[in-house]
Homo-oligomer: A and B are copies of this chain.
């Protein structure tokens, strides 16, 4: 995935991986990092029956969990080394039932600012070699500096 963003910290990949590894919920949903580029992060996770809603699809909140991490880490990849990342709001549209063998979340920065970054993410379901758009997210992410209990 090409990117027109220049990261202000050349070690952005390690920074994203380190923070991702500290998100315990990513282990719970078995998500892993596929790629980290400046302003763009791809995550994936497999179907898991213990994450489903009443019709057997992945619950919209779990869809949001992985979308938010993809979106947040896309933003985080462009932040300075002393910033922590905090999502302040997001909006999710659910386009198709989240059914499939595995799912890919692609997060991309729309506009990066010193304090406020707007980013997007899309979730695709993979099934029988086909890819289908399941959900979209758009949200606002804040760079947090020196706040108690919240660090890089």
Q: List chain A positions with a Cβ less than 8 A from chain B.
A: 19-20, 22-25, 27-28, 49-55, 59-69, 84, 86-97, 110-111, 115-116, 118, 133, 136, 138, 140, 142, 149-151
Contacts and interface: CB of A to CB of B under 8 A. Distances in A.
A28 B58 CA distance: 12
Nearest to A96: B111
Nearest to A122: B110
Contacts of A49: 24
Nearest to A63: B61
A136 B110 contact: yes
Contact of A68 (B61, B69, B90, B96): B61
Contacts of A24: 49-53
| Interface of chain A, main secondary structure | mixed
Contacts of A111: 95-96, 133
Q: Which 7 residue pairs of A and B lie closest in terms of their CB atoms, listed nearest first? A: A61-B65, A22-B54, A25-B59, A91-B91, A61-B64, A64-B64, A95-B111
Nearest to A28: B50
A91 to B, nearest CB: 4
Contacts of A19: 54
B97 A89 contact: no
A20 to B, nearest CB: 8
A84 to B, nearest CB: 7
18 contacts: A22-B54, A25-B51, A55-B149, A55-B151, A60-B64, A60-B65, A60-B68, A61-B61, A64-B65, A86-B94, A88-B93, A89-B89, A89-B92, A89-B93, A92-B92, A93-B118, A93-B140, A111-B133
